[in-house]
Amino acid sequence: MKARNSTQKTLLLLLSGKSSAAKRFAGKHVLVVEDKVVPLKKGEEGWKDFMRLEKKYGQPPIVVFVPRQDISYIFF
């Protein structure tokens, strides 16, 4: 079995709803890099956070929507 890196572990916890961060960021878009989760801000501030995290961690953060656990989502 392949070992998972910290970014993958953080994403799994967020999307499964099994972490405190999943409850705190439910229904929102966030930036994830390694074990860091940052809420995505609108406009220029969001872009600055993206660039800051990329510079700090040496890899671009992943933008992900954290679903609420009480709602079903249907994508077309």
pLDDT confidence of residue 1: 44
Q: Which two tokens stand for residue 13?
A: 């916890």
Residue spans of the domains in the chain: they are 6-65
pLDDT tens per residue, range 10-29: 888 888 888 888 889 999 99
Percentage of the residues of the chain whose pLDDT score is greater than 90: 53
Give the other-Cβ count within 10 Å of 38's Cβ: 16
Question: What pTM was computed for the model?
Answer: 0.81
Distance CA 61, CA 76 (A): 25
Q: Taking residues 33-38, report their average pLDDT.
A: 91
